[in-house]
Chain A
Amino acid sequence: MKITILRSSDNTHQEYTLPQGEMTLLKALTSIKATQDATLTFTAGCRASVCGTCAVRVNGKEELSCAYKVKDGDVVEPLLYHPVLRDLKVDKNKAKETLVQSTAWLQKGQEASLTHQDEKLSETQTDCILCDSCYSACPVYAVNPDFLGPFALTRAYRYSSDKRESDAKTIIDNIQTNGVWDCTLCGECTLACPKGIDPKMDITMLRGTSLQFGYEDPTFSQQSFGTPDFGGGFGFDPNGGF
């Protein structure tokens, strides 16, 4: 079985031969490093899909190395939109800044009576392991590197909808610029998430909450009120905001 891995030193794909049989990509990478090529660089931690360290792209799709079973001919590359530090190891600091910018935390806690139903409301969102797969899959970054992005917005939604939050407005205020309205709702993040989280839905929910707090879809208002162009921009535009 052969796989190829994008090496950063010369920006080419290097081929490695692996024994036949079922193995996770992480096991393959570990074995290559230990026995074939000690310079191959990647990151990993728990082996159990929960520490968020080992996400890469396989044949163009984001995968956790520890959860992906290697197939002959697989092409392994680092996450997109992250500065590559070396081979499959990327710099996640800029991506993590989106959590700060969107102030995705409990702003002002209050006592609340939470029920099983409330638990379910954020159960999946709080399964997030910050592996950055969704960030890599998001095509908005190709045009707007300052986009807050799927994982930060999912986390913003999780706190803004928590009954213990008495100041959801602050979070909503902080996700307007480069935030909920910049998403194209393409759903690539949802497909990429290894934990089954649906950031697209969370962003849609956040748009609804934003409207409740008096915000408007800027793409819609620009077209509606920017110029008195009744011929084209006003009214329903299927590409306007949704």
Chain B
Amino acid sequence: MTDVLIIGSGGAGLTAALFAQEAGASVTVVGKTYPTNSQTSMAQGGINAALSNAGEDHVSSHIADTIKSARGLCDEDSVRHMCADGPQTITWLESIGVPFSRLDNGKSATGSVAQRQMGGASAKRACYAQDYTGLKILHTLYDTCLKQNIHFLDEYYLLNLIIQEDTVKGATFLELRTGEVKQINAKSVIMATGGYGSLYHGYTTNAYGSTGDGVAAVLRAGGAVSDMEFIQFHPTALKGSSILISESARGEGGYLVNSDGERFIDELKPRDEVARAIFAQLQEDQEVFLDIRHLGEEKLMELLPQEVELCKLHEHVDPSKDLIPIKPVAHYTMGGIDVDYALEVNGIKGCFAVGECSNAKVHGANRLGGNSLLEITAFGKIVGENAYKHAVYASNKKADDTQLERDKKHIINIYAQENSFNFYENREALGKLFYENVGIVRNNPSLTQALDNVISMQVNLAKMGINDKSTSNNTNLTDFLEFSNALLLAPTIISSALARDESRGAHYKEGFEAMDDENFKKHIVLQWTKEMMS
């Protein structure tokens, strides 16, 4: 029995693993792919910490900016904790060898780490590594995990948490290579499974795998989820492919212009405001472009080399000479697994959550660029230590195989299920439905329509089977399981959005354009009843 089972091997999971093991725990990290394949690799712009390397800054300003952007929905103590931990988190990343971009200021250690402007920030606060910040942090974490001999199980797909007396006892997995359903017993479990942005299939910057598997598993196991309606739309994704162009492009001085060549918004406002301004232009049949030509080729290659490549490859534009056609798409899910100060899941003892899958209430209604990489590393440390503390006193009595047998049966049933509706078509339809009806600007009739469509899709799920009957390496099956999880979460997002008759941060509703603190300065928390779980 492992002390701490970590589900998800992105930046949050790897950080948690390192600190849990350092505290004294035996650790197993389980992922549905390989550790460096995660969404963390896609974080481009930076990681926030008030270091004052590029002009005056203070932790208090970082806190104030984060609270302001959260529009009253964050927990201010959690925000203070995260922001105050910023500088020491960068010190730790420096100590394991993260290759940050550097300033020529003659300073040592983190004193020379380069910092750039991001939207909604009152100072140049985002530490970066060109526009590959997430990639380079993730790979350095991985190298450090190899150094510390962290135990990995690759290609294990999470099925369900095992719960006895409201306490987590482990989890069941589909081992993708063999097709076997397996049980892993653990004293503590950390969910680090990523967000659910891929529900917006075709209209998201996210990787295919960000289907909210962990959030759905917590819901099925009786845990709480919250703030599910708060989905961040990134203002600048490539028009044709939804591939992300980092906010740092605007932080470095890029403009947004419409077909008439006019600027229409302060580009450095928080993402929710910029995304809505772009959306309004698109509604008026304007095209919208990111213009970074004036930065010049040399500076672009220095600061944004990845963006230049992606623009050339996917849109056939050279950012040093051409305008970049863009649109806002789903990018980050602020809501997720509801956790307390210790990052323990509300409703499941011994189960913790960290990173995008969790709602630690640091982002509130709108996340600031550069705060998610900080969250996964700063809170990854805390969650690793807390999960170990829980493991010390947890019972080492293993769970029986009730859940395992139930999940084996479930998988067998999927193979036997009739297949009269193609779930891949439904995956496309769900993404489009969400982008149009549960998108940047919402209204109650469209949300109600979306809920109807989702419910009929859920009814039809029993008639969406798989064509591939192979037991081993069956990606048709995992695609189906991922789609099922996304579909399970869909109503939680819509019903929360319906209930919130106001506009706040990323949630903007026609007819209710103002913020209504009296009725809605609160989190919408959802939990399944015992009847729903059986």
Once bound together, how far apart are the Cα atoms of A130 and B135, in whole Å? 11
- Residue from the list B107, B146, B207, B473 in contact with A85, Cβ < 8 A: B473
Q: Which of B37, B103, B136, B244 contacts A51 (CB 8 A)?
A: B37
Interface assignment of B456: CB less than 8 Å from any CB of chain A: no
Residue of A nearest to B476 (CB): A38
The answer to whether B129 and A126 touch across the interface, beta carbons within 8 angstroms, is yes
Give the residues in chain B near A38, CB-CB below 8 Å: 466-468, 476
A104 and B36 alpha carbons, distance in the complex (Å): 15
Q: Mark B456-482, 1 if CB is under 8 A from A, else 0.
A: 000000000011101011111001000
A13 within 8 A of B: no
Q: How far is the CB of A88 from chain B (nearest CB, A)?
A: 10
Are B95 and A49 in contact (CB-based, < 8 A)? no
Whether A48 is near chain B, meaning CB under 8 Å from some CB there, is yes
A184 adjacent to chain B (CB < 8 Å): no
Size of the chain B interface, CB-CB below 8 angstroms: 60
What is the bound-complex CA distance between A175 and B168, given in angstroms? 44
**C-alpha spacing A165/B140, complex, angstroms:** 14
B26 beta carbon closer than 8 Å to chain A: no
**Knowing A103-B147, A105-B143 touch, does A46 contact B41 (C-beta < 8 A)?**
yes
Instruction: Return A182 CB to nearest CB of chain B, in Å.
Output: 21
The docked-state distance in angstroms from the alpha carbon of A140 to that of B104 is 41
CB neighbours (8 Å) of B108 from chain A are 111-113
- Any B CB within 8 A of the CB of A200: no
Cβ distance A69 to chain B, nearest Cβ, rounded Å? 8
The answer to whether the Cβ of B96 comes within 8 Å of any Cβ in the partner chain is: yes
A34 to B112, CA, bound (A): 49
Partner of A109 from the list B42, B96, B101, B207 (CB cut-off 8 Å) is B96
Q: Does B33 contact A (CB under 8 A)?
A: yes
- Is B388's CB within 8 Å of the partner chain A? no
Q: B524 CB to closest chain A CB, in angstroms?
A: 31
Give a binary string over A118-130; 1 marks a CB under 8 Å from any B CB, 0 the rest: 1100110011111
The reply to whether the CB of A82 lies closer than 8 angstroms to some CB of chain B is: no
Query: A86 to chain B: which residues have CB within 8 Å?
Result: 470, 472-473
B125 at the interface (CB under 8 A from A): no
The answer on a CB contact under 8 Å between B132 and A50 is yes
8 Å CB interface, B418-457 against A: 422, 424-425
Contacting pair B97 A43 (CB below 8 A):
no
List chain A residues, Cβ under 8 A from B144: 105-106
Asked if A42 is at the interface (CB within 8 A of a chain B CB), the reply is yes
A113–B106 touching, CB < 8 Å: yes
Q: In the complex, what residues of A have CB within 8 A of residue B209's CB?
A: 45
A169 at the B interface (CB under 8 A) = no
Q: Restricting to A72-123, which residues have a CB under 8 Å from any CB of B?
A: 85-86, 89, 91-93, 96, 99-100, 103-106, 109, 111-119, 122-123
A118 vs B479: C-alpha distance when bound (angstroms): 43
The reply on A3 being an interface residue by CB < 8 A is no
Partner of A129, one of B100, B102, B135, B154: B135
Q: Are the C-beta atoms of A129 and B36 separated by less than 8 Å? A: yes
Tell me which residues across on chain A come within 8 A of B472, comparing CB atoms: 85-86
> How far apart are the CA atoms of A116 and B104 in the complex, in Å?
6
Query: A39-B470, A111-B108, A130-B139 in contact; A116/B103 too (CB < 8 A)?
Result: yes
**A210 contacts chain B at the CB level, 8 A cutoff:** no
Would A34 and B42 count as touching, CB distance under 8 A? no
Residues of chain A within 8 A of B103, CB atoms compared: 116
Is A159 in the interface zone, CB < 8 Å from B? yes
| Contacts A34-B424, A38-B467, A39-B476 given; does A104 touch B100 at CB 8 Å | no
Contacts of B167 in A (CB 8 A): none
Q: Taking CB as reference atom, which chain B residue is nearest A194?
A: B309
Shortest Cβ distance from residue A37 to the other chain B in the assembled complex, whole angstroms: 8
Q: By CB atoms of chain B within 10 A, which of A48, A112, A129 has the most?
A: A48
Task: Report how far A164 CA is from B91 CA in the complex, Å.
Answer: 13
- Report the nearest B residue to A107, measured CB to CB: B147
Q: Residue-by-residue, is B127-160 near A (CB-CB < 8 Å gives 1, otherwise 0)?
A: 0011010011001000110110000001000000
Counting CB contacts under 8 A, is B313 at the interface? yes
User: Within 8 Å of chain A (Cβ to Cβ): is B99?
Assistant: yes
Contact between B470 and A115 (Cβ–Cβ < 8 Å)?
no
Cβ of A47 within 8 Å of any chain B Cβ, yes or no, is yes
Which residues on A sit within 8 Å (CB–CB) of B132? 50, 126-127
Residue among B114, B135, B468 making CB contact with A39, cutoff 8 Å: B468
Contact partner of A115 among B41, B94, B102, CB < 8 A? B102
Q: Say yes or no for B512: interface residue by CB 8 A criterion.
A: no
Chain B residue with minimal CB distance to A22? B316
Answer whether A51 and B41 are a contact pair too, CB < 8 Å, given A39-B467, A39-B468, A46-B207: yes
Check A113 against B468 for contact (C-beta < 8 Å): no
Residues of A within 8 A of B94 (CB): 164
Using Cβ atoms and an 8 Å threshold, which residues of chain A touch B520?
Answer: none
Asked if B109 is an interface residue, CB under 8 A from chain A, the answer is yes
Across-interface contacts of A158 in B (CB, < 8 A): 99
Min CB–CB distance A49 → chain B (angstroms)? 7
- The yes or no answer to B208 lying at the interface (CB within 8 A) is yes
Taking A34-B422, A116-B102 as contacts, is the C-beta distance between A41 and B473 under 8 angstroms? yes
Within 160-212 of B, Cβ neighbours of A (below 8 Å) are at 177, 207-209
Provide the residues of chain B in CB contact with A113, threshold 8 Å: 106-109, 111-112
Return chain B residues, CB-CB under 8 Å to A100.
146
When each residue 140-168 of chain A gets 1 if its CB lies under 8 Å from chain B and 0 otherwise, what string results? 00000000000000010011001011000
Contact B97 A105 (CB under 8 A): yes
Chain B residues near A179 (CB, 8 Å)?
none
With a cutoff of 8 Å between Cβ atoms, the chain B residues found around residue A41 in the complex are 473-475
Return B299 CB to nearest CB of chain A, in Å: 13
Q: What residue in chain A is nearest B470 (Cβ atoms)?
A: A39
B34 interface contact, C-beta 8 A: yes
The CA-CA distance from A67 to B310 in the complex, in Å, is: 9
A128 to B41, CA, bound (A): 11
Min distance, Cβ A6 to any Cβ of chain B, angstroms: 15
Contacts A33-B476, A111-B108 given; indicate if A46 touches B467 (C-beta within 8 A). no
Asked if B42 contacts A111 (CB within 8 A), the reply is no
- Cβ distance B198 to chain A, nearest Cβ, rounded Å: 11
- Say yes or no: A35 contacts B424, CB within 8 Å: yes
Determine how close the nearest CB of chain A comes to the CB of B462; give it in whole angstroms.
Answer: 18
B15 to chain A, nearest CB (A): 15
- Tell me, yes or no, whether A53 is within 8 Å of chain B by CB: yes
Nearest B residue to A109, CB-CB: B95
- A interface list, Cβ under 8 A from B: 33-35, 38-39, 41-53, 67, 85-86, 89, 91-93, 96, 99-100, 103-106, 109, 111-119, 122-123, 126-130, 155, 158-159, 162, 164-165
With A39-B470, A106-B97 known, 16 other A-B pairs at CB within 8 A are: A44-B208, A45-B33, A51-B207, A53-B33, A99-B143, A99-B146, A104-B143, A105-B97, A111-B109, A114-B112, A116-B102, A116-B103, A117-B104, A119-B101, A129-B36, A130-B36
What are some 8 contacts across the A-B interface (CB < 8 A)?
A38-B468, A47-B241, A48-B243, A51-B38, A53-B34, A115-B104, A123-B99, A130-B34
